[in-house]
Amino acid sequence: MTEMRALIQQSATSKTLTLTKTPRPTPAQDEHLIHVKACSPCAGELLWPANFPPPNQRTLIPCPDVAGMVISAPADSPFKPGDCVYARTNYIRPGNACDYATAPTDELARMPQGMSFVQAAAVPVSAQTAWQLLLVQTFGELDWEEAKQVWGGKRVLVTAASGGVGMWVVQLARLLGAEVIGTAGGNMGIVKELGAEVLDYRTTNLREWAGQEKVDVVVDCIGGKSLRDAWWTVKDEGVVVSIFQAPLMVKPEEFEGENVKDLFFVMQPVGQQLEEITKLIEEGACRGMVDSVWPLEQYEEAFRRLDTGHAKGKIAFDLELN
Ligand SMILES: NC(=O)c1ccc[n+]([C@@H]2O[C@H](COP(=O)([O-])OP(=O)(O)OC[C@H]3O[C@@H](n4cnc5c(N)ncnc54)[C@H](OP(=O)(O)O)[C@@H]3O)[C@@H](O)[C@H]2O)c1
Query: What is the C-alpha to C-alpha distance for residues 76 and 288, in angstroms, rounded to an integer?
Result: 31
* 101 within ligand 1 shell (Cβ under 6 A): no
Look at strands 100-104 and 84-88 and give their pairing: unpaired
Nearest CA to ligand 1 atom 2: 266
Task: Give residue 319's Cα distance to chain centre.
Answer: 20
* 124 within ligand 1 shell (Cβ under 6 A): no
Q: Per-residue pLDDT tens for 121-164?
A: 999 999 999 999 999 999 999 999 999 999 999 999 999 999 99
Ligand 1 nearest-atom number relative to CA 183: 33
Ligand 1 centre to CA of 43 (Å) is: 7
pLDDT at 55: 87
Ligand 1 nearest-atom number relative to CA 312: 43
Q: Per-residue pLDDT tens for 268-317?
A: 999 999 999 999 999 999 999 999 999 999 999 999 999 999 999 999 99
Tell me: pLDDT of 1 over 70. Answer: no
Domains and CATH numbers, the chain: 3-122+289-318 (3.90.180.10), 127-264 (3.40.50.720)
Strands of 234-242's sheet in order across: 197-200, 179-184, 155-158, 215-220, 234-242, 261-264
Helix axes 124-132, 164-175, angle to 10 degrees: 50
* pTM confidence score: 0.98
Ligand 1 nearest-atom number relative to CA 129: 5
Ligand 1 nearest-atom number relative to CA 306: 20
* 243 within ligand 1 shell (Cβ under 6 A): yes
Query: What is the C-alpha to C-alpha distance for residues 145 and 41, in angstroms, rounded to an integer?
Result: 32
* 184 within ligand 1 shell (Cβ under 6 A): yes
* 165 within ligand 1 shell (Cβ under 6 A): yes
Q: 211 falls in which pLDDT band (50, 70, 90)?
A: confident
* 43 within ligand 1 shell (Cβ under 6 A): yes
Interval 27-49 mean pLDDT = 97
Nearest CA to ligand 1 atom 44: 43
Q: Per-residue pLDDT tens for 49-71?
A: 999 999 888 999 999 999 999 99
* 182 within ligand 1 shell (Cβ under 6 A): no
Ligand 1 nearest-atom number relative to CA 126: 6
Ligand 1 centre to CA of 70 (Å) is: 31
Ligand 1 nearest-atom number relative to CA 243: 1
* 169 within ligand 1 shell (Cβ under 6 A): no
